[in-house]
Amino acid sequence: GNSVTQMEGPVTLSEEAFLTINCTYTATGYPSLFWYVQYPGEGLQLLLKATKADDKGSNKGFEATYRKETTSFHLEKGSVQVSDSAVYFCALSDQGGGADGLTFGKGTHLIIQP
């Protein structure tokens, strides 16, 4: 079946540090890949997505590249801000097999200190 594995948190960084949150996946078909973010007290929001191999999704300074050869979709940002503190979820949608909903990782809690 499908699965998503992402690095355990919490991840604590200082403001302006470089961020990487690792995400790897297993899928039976040809998945689309997503990063969702949950800010404190708010609902899940789509941060970025990529629908095929070698695509790069980007938004709000965050980037992730769909790497089929390593089955990865790592999230990066060059300079984090306190306002980036949130829980980040990697997810996949497998349109070639498996359930029709998104498969999520467990989430990574990011804490940015001023």
Partner 1 sequence: GAGVSQTPSNKVTEKGKYVELRCDPISGHTALYWYRQSLGQGPEFLIYFQGTGAADDSGLPNDRFFAVRPEGSVSTLKIQRTERGDSAVYLCASSPTSIRDTQYFGPGTRLTVL
Contact positions toward partner 1, by CB under 8 A?
4, 32, 36, 42-46, 49, 89, 91, 93, 95, 99-107
Tokens 């990697």 identify what position? 90
Task: State how beta strands 44-50 and 31-38 pair.
Answer: antiparallel
Choose between 43 and 114: whose C-beta lies nearer to partner 1: 43
**Nearest-angstrom CA–CA distance, 6 and 22:** 6
Nearer to partner 1, 19 or 107 (CB): 107
Q: Which is nearer to partner 1, 11 or 102 (CB)?
A: 102
CA 76 to chain centre: 9
Q: How far is CA 73 from CA 40, 78, 82, 112, 113, in A?
A: 24, 16, 23, 22, 25
In whole angstroms, how close is the CB of 15 to partner 1 at the nearest point? 26
Least separation in angstroms between CB 13 and partner 1: 21
Q: Shortest gap between Cβ of 114 and partner 1 (angstroms)?
A: 26
Which two three-digit tokens encode residue 32? 């689309």
What is the closest distance, in whole angstroms, from the C-beta atom of residue 47 to partner 1 in the complex?
Answer: 11
> Residue 107 or residue 110: which is nearer to partner 1 going by CB?
107
